[in-house]
Chain A
Amino acid sequence: MEELLKKISEVVAEGEAEEAVALVKEALGKGVGPLTILNEGASKGMDIVSEQYNLGEAYLPELVLAGDAMTAVLDVLFASMDKEELAASRVGTVVIGQAKGDVHDIGKNIVSALLAVNGFEVHDIGTDVPVKKFIETAKEVKADIVLVSTLLTTSLPYLSDTLQYISDSGFRDKWYYGVGGGPVTPEFSKKLGVDGWSRTAFDCVEMCKKLLTDKKPGQGEIIMVDSEA
């Protein structure tokens, strides 16, 4: 059985979604619990690719493909779980996009991929995203966290607009609101009144985990994660 779980971790790390799903089905068929497959197989694959990326041995395409494999595996595993197992395995649902006017997508794509490889359900709504689209998607997918990033100072006002729209729509206490990107400083984020800010893509994963465990949306101090500080 260990061999099979090891194989699952390897193919997930390699981004082979179809093979990963087949192996997960095989493991389920042999009576291995979905939580065991997740924790001892797929998640370990994610750890491998995250570490490789951090060391500069893997790059964005590898991360994205591994994230896709993880998502496919999670779909199969979630379908086989009971309520308690589901609650124990779901990390959170994130809506992420690049603010209106900004078409830079690499940084955001890295964050999306890292969140996916860390077990978050990620809904990446792309670049140049109108404010309303964040709210519509968050409602539709029952999000826990809304993340908006930008590399452009001329898109910074949209970070404030999105938060205002969330508040005016009555969802400020439902979704955590996190921001990031080159010109998005801790001072700016604090002034804005967001729930979370992070420096790097890895910091963002940490921030999202902390948001879900440390505070309620719109309440308490802003959570800032900065590995460079």
Chain B
Amino acid sequence: MFNYKVQRLLNNLDKAYQGPIIPMKEWDTRIIPKTIKGILKKYNLQNTLDMENPISSNDELADTFFRAGWELALELGLYCEDTERVIKVTEEEILECMRDYPSQLILGEGQDQVVMKPRRPEDPHTPLLAASLGIVCSEENYLPLVQGIVKYNKLVDVLHGPTLATVFGREIRSGTPYETLMGNYESHLKKEALWRAGRPGMACTGVAGAVTEYGHLGGAPAVAGQGNVTMSLCPVELKCTFSNFHRIIQGLNYGHKLRIGGFSYIGGYAGSPEGAALANIATDLLIPTILQADYTSSYVYDIHLFGNCGRKALWANSVAHQAVSRNTGFMRNKIVNETGGPCTKMFMYESAVGLMNHCVSGASKTTQPRSAGGRYTDYITPMEAWWCGDVFKSCAGMTRKEANEIANKILPKYEEKLMAPDKGLPVNECFDLKNQVPLENYRELYTEVREELIDIGMPLDKCFGDWYMGKMEQRHRLFV
């Protein structure tokens, strides 16, 4: 483990003690907005938002954004909250990082191993899907839910997993021994679920319920090894903490790959959609360079909509994403934050548009779903993960123009409801966890929307056909 990554990480940790001192409020409210506005102006990128074409296919715009994002990364660096200092980087350091970056990552082991590769816009190579995001579910539902999520190997490649509501019936308070115990408990439940699903070698991306380093410390030993991944999410905007460093070093200690996230908010410190896109590009450059990520997990989010399926966030994600895909070999995990819940057309439309955008813009991987915005306990079923896998993988090879045309047909079906999304149903009202099959209401809705989107032009029937639709009725009784 004591390789160049560790040395670079230590050098950057040293910089967190030596860089320029700036009060955090100054960073957030003056330096970030002022620098972003200045660079947008310099490159003439203000007012480039195109609401009519939410999935951009403008290569020149993407490349200009990339040059501007590169300058932003060099101008700002990452802010360390704990020391209130800035970790600056040089152009040589970013170039070195790009030079030494892997050409592929192998996740998982044995027959469940998958290969993650850098993708360019309109790339025909199929991207990977990790499921699910950290949506809270009851302790008693955890095992059958995870088993269901990973049921189809063509749709779900990597396990992230939902979040436990309790540990042995106790509420989990973050940063306490409850969280440390939960980390270990979650990892063992996931291993058990993978074994039951017949996919024991599938990669796990860290502890979903770990919001501090304690949860990671508790869970990492149970899923140690090169095929697995540690996740560390940085605060907004262009910031990091010692908690991030803790988790990264824990990940290296256990031989994990590093998935490190940083997000950019429309309406937040980065300001406009153009500003958020610019900050997102800088994030994608700085996180591998400073925090030694094997791949980043970053995206643009719209604060006003509590998600990123509206036109502004779709456009900002497409431009930021294509900028980095066209100009680097960095691999990125891009997330769609749906607001509709399970068993709703809204969820299926949002994820279809968001994932099509990520796929044609060059994402190597996604982690899904965020059903009902992750707000409610047990508002997640395996069906959302299957749908996301179906859509995301099927769109590989589409052109951005085709995707944009389809997005413009789907968006009117849900965009007016983004401020008051459909909550949907909890798992027990639309999915039979015991037999691992959807209930009639969800199967019918799923089939209806899938056929509707095929008619609109999404290539769902070309990639996977209907092979798993028929299987939906096959029961896989659990050992309970």
Task: State whether the Cβ of A182 lies closer than 8 Å to any Cβ in chain B.
Answer: yes
Are the C-beta atoms of B174 and A182 separated by less than 8 Å? no
Task: State whether the Cβ of B179 lies closer than 8 Å to any Cβ in chain A.
Answer: yes
Task: State whether the Cβ of A158 lies closer than 8 Å to any Cβ in chain B.
Answer: yes
Interface size class of B (residues with CB under 8 A): 35 or more
Are the C-beta atoms of B236 and A154 separated by less than 8 Å? no
Task: State whether the Cβ of A101 lies closer than 8 Å to any Cβ in chain B.
Answer: yes
Task: State whether the Cβ of A153 lies closer than 8 Å to any Cβ in chain B.
Answer: yes
Are the C-beta atoms of B211 and A152 separated by less than 8 Å? yes
Task: State whether the Cβ of B272 lies closer than 8 Å to any Cβ in chain A.
Answer: yes
Partner of B267, one of A59, A65, A102: A59
Are the C-beta atoms of B179 and A154 separated by less than 8 Å? yes
Task: State whether the Cβ of A185 lies closer than 8 Å to any Cβ in chain B.
Answer: yes
Are the C-beta atoms of B174 and A56 separated by less than 8 Å? no
Contacts of A37 in B (CB 8 A): none
Are the C-beta atoms of B211 and A155 separated by less than 8 Å? yes
Task: State whether the Cβ of B268 lies closer than 8 Å to any Cβ in chain A.
Answer: yes
For the complex, give the distance between the alpha carbons of A153 and B172 in Å.
8
Whether A229 touches B265, Cβ cut-off 8 Å, given contacts A100-B173, A100-B174, A185-B375, is: no
B308-334 at interface with A (beta carbon < 8 Å): none
For the complex, give the distance between the alpha carbons of A206 and B367 in Å.
36
For the complex, give the distance between the alpha carbons of A152 and B179 in Å.
13
Are the C-beta atoms of B303 and A110 separated by less than 8 Å? yes
Q: How many A-B residue pairs have CB under 8 A?
A: 94
Are the C-beta atoms of B174 and A155 separated by less than 8 Å? yes
Task: State whether the Cβ of A7 lies closer than 8 Å to any Cβ in chain B.
Answer: no
Q: Give A104-125 as 1s and 0s: 1 = Cβ < 8 Å from B's Cβ atoms.
A: 1111011000000000000000
Which of A59, A64, A65, A128: most chain B CB closer than 10 A?
A: A59
Contacts of A61 in B (CB 8 A): 28-30, 32-33, 269, 271
Whether A156 touches B171, Cβ cut-off 8 Å, given contacts A60-B267, A105-B235, is: yes
Q: Give B44-71 as 1s and 0s: 1 = Cβ < 8 Å from A's Cβ atoms.
A: 0000000000000000000000000000
Give min CB distance, A69 to chain B, whole Å.
12
The residue in chain B whose Cβ has the minimal distance to the Cβ of A60 is B268
Whether A102 touches B174, Cβ cut-off 8 Å, given contacts A59-B271, A65-B29, A153-B136, is: yes
The residue in chain B whose Cβ has the minimal distance to the Cβ of A110 is B303
For the complex, give the distance between the alpha carbons of A158 and B374 in Å.
19
Q: Give A44-85 as 1s and 0s: 1 = Cβ < 8 Å from B's Cβ atoms.
A: 000000000100100111001100000000000000000000
For the complex, give the distance between the alpha carbons of A185 and B376 in Å.
8
Contacts of B236 in A (CB 8 A): 104-106
Q: Give B3-40 as 1s and 0s: 1 = Cβ < 8 Å from A's Cβ atoms.
A: 00000000000000000000001001110110000000
Are the C-beta atoms of A183 and B136 separated by less than 8 Å? yes
For the complex, give the distance between the alpha carbons of A56 and B274 in Å.
13
Are the C-beta atoms of A157 and B171 separated by less than 8 Å? yes
Contacts of A2 in B (CB 8 A): none
Are the C-beta atoms of B268 and A59 separated by less than 8 Å? yes
Q: List 30 A-B contacts (CB under 8 A).
A: A56-B267, A59-B33, A59-B269, A59-B275, A60-B303, A61-B28, A61-B29, A61-B30, A61-B271, A100-B173, A100-B174, A101-B175, A101-B211, A103-B241, A104-B235, A105-B236, A106-B236, A106-B269, A106-B303, A152-B174, A152-B211, A153-B377, A154-B174, A154-B179, A182-B306, A182-B374, A183-B376, A185-B375, A228-B419, A229-B420
Give A contacts to B, CB under 8 Å. 53, 56, 59-61, 64-65, 100-107, 109-110, 128, 152-158, 161, 182-183, 185, 228-229
3 closest residue pairs by CB, A with B: A101-B174, A154-B174, A61-B33
